[in-house]
Amino acid sequence: MPEADIALLERVVQDFRLRLTPEMQAAAQSSDGVAAQFVPSAEELVTRPEDLRDPIGDDAHSPVRGLTHRYPDRVILHVTKTCEVYCRFCFRRETVGETGHLPQDDLTAALDYISATPSIWEVVLTGGDPLVLSPRRLGEIMARLAAIPHVGIVRFHTRVPVVAPQRITPDLLNALKTRLVPWMVIHTNHADELTTAARAALSRLADAGVPLLSQSVLLRGINDRAEVLEALFRALIGLRVKPYYLHHCDMARGAGHFRTTIAEGQAIMAALRGRLSGTCLPTYVLDLPGGHGKVPIGPDYLAPQGDGTWQVTDWRGTVHLYHDPI
């Protein structure tokens, strides 16, 4: 590689560091769809007018440090800023990668806020990646959340079972066992990420009774073709993981080269509707800039024609008329 290119990539890594597990290093050797997610590119140095430092408004809805309260019944608890891998399109790239976990005083303040807010029913553990924490520390957090009567669900957003499957140990599974129902949302974007070890880790979670969902990001040049996402979603269903969200790529700084248009994403979802059953299909969503929440942006199959008549387009593109009962 020319020295000028090396210098450019060093600038990229200074801004957002490189981290890749052995599992994903091996997968990247044979898959461009994996490599492009983690290997730095000079395109990250391009800042576009629409790029934002806080694309989904974490800070705008933070009542105490480490907590985001955007919807009445759920909060996001940022227990760490560390991940096992750093995705080049990360919407938290301005903060993820900083060392350390949420300090004890801040964690206590966040838990006190949750305890004092009876409308909170669900706590989403994220970061960073919550499964980089030790089983002991995770167990302590789960126990403290379980002691809050109005909290009923804990949801983990994680890449660990796929990118660092050795972390899914009996000790970790035991740490999840409280009165709370732990849901695991697995971030994966390409079927080539689902290595033999990753599949075994997901099976360990499913066998332990942990409900599994997935979230993926629509990424130009990686999974922006119906056949690529079809392969991913079929593989996930076969592993007892329900595809949950397909995210439109957020307006993170330096990630513009990964973004598709919404129209392109809708066309892909329309194609998938004819190729996959409903169990395999996630909801295609846009996380509105500024922290205003997620909005489904799937294809528009219905168009009102007036007088209770609707024009309906089926998965083949054929148009039908449907009449509401009077």
Q: How many helices (H) and strands (E) does the chain have?
A: 10, 12
DSSP secondary structure of 158-185:
ESHHHH-GGG--HHHHHHT-SSSEEEEE
State how far the alpha carbon of 31 is from the alpha carbons of 27, 106, 209, 227, in Å.
6, 40, 32, 16
CB contact at 8 A, 79 and 132: no
Residue with tokens 């922006």: 224
State how far the alpha carbon of 259 is from the alpha carbons of 51, 82, 228, in Å.
11, 24, 16
- Give the integer Cα–Cα distance in Å for 37 and 258: 9
**Closest among 317, 287, 324 to 300, alpha carbons compared:** 317
Length, in residues, of the chain: 326
Residue with tokens 């079809």: 230
- Give the integer Cα–Cα distance in Å for 126 and 68: 11
Q: Which residues of 245-259 are buried (b: 16+ CB within 10 A; e: fewer)?
A: bbbbbbbbbbbbbbb
Bridge partners, 312 (sequence order) = 302, 320
Active-site annotation, residues: 70-71, 74, 83, 87, 90, 92, 250, 287, 294
